[in-house]
Amino acid sequence: LTFTPDEEAELLDVKVKCLNNLAASQLKLDHFKAALKSCNLVLEHQPGNIKALFRKGKVLAQQGEYREAIPILKAALKLEPSNKTIHAELSKLVKKHADQRNVETEMYRKMLGNPSTSSTPRKCKDKLPWSIPWKWLFGATAIALGGVALSVVIAARN
């Protein structure tokens, strides 16, 4: 079975439309992995397909992959700057990404024993901002001394 170039182009066009519709359905059903696969198949044939770019950005955003989703939505917006839906999704995503980064920053600050400087006033101005709690310092010192003592015992037995 052979097709003329026009028939091949038409078949490809129908395939792309079907995959785009499939991706939309999968996205609505929260089947993100399948929707991402459908979008990628469309983008293999038409890298500038706005619907596929938009849906891929939405899928990645739904999965919390904001760093990957933002450039994809920006690419879609660059191809169609007047699209208000893409504008809305991108601005929502940028805000979510900023909120996520703030939460992560606060979590790291708490993990490292440096509570937020805005929530509690500083007691001592010349104290370093990354000061280590004395319990941690004591624990680390005890472990280090234990390791040295163990190596001395092992060396004495040999």
pLDDT tens-place string over residues 77-121: 999 999 999 999 998 988 888 878 888 888 888 888 766 555 544
Residue type at 136 in one-letter notation: W
- In this structure, the number of other CB atoms found within 10 A of the CB of residue 37 comes to 15
Q: What is the pLDDT of residue 155?
A: 83
Q: What is the pLDDT of residue 142?
A: 79
CA distance 52 to 90: 15
DSSP string, 99-150: HHHHHHHHHHHHHTT---TTTS--S-TTS-TTPPPHHHHHHHHHHHHHHHHH
Q: What is the pLDDT of residue 107?
A: 83
CA distance 17 to 158: 75
The mean pLDDT value for 145-158 works out to 82
Closest CA to 54 of 95, 31, 84, 15: 84
Q: Pick the more confident residue, 89 or 124.
A: 89
Q: What is the pLDDT of residue 150?
A: 82
The residues, any chain, with a CB within 8 Å of residue 111's CB and separated by 6 or more, are: none
Q: What is the pLDDT of residue 121?
A: 47
- Within 13 Å, how many C-alpha atoms sit on residue 135's CB side? 2
Render pLDDT for 30-89 as a digit per residue (tens, 0 to 9). 999 999 999 999 999 999 999 999 999 999 999 989 889 999 999 999 999 999 999 999
In the DSSP assignment, the letter for residue 127 is: S
For residue 148, pLDDT beyond 90: no
Is residue 127 within 8 Å of residue 114, measured between CB atoms? no
The mean pLDDT value for 1-23 works out to 93
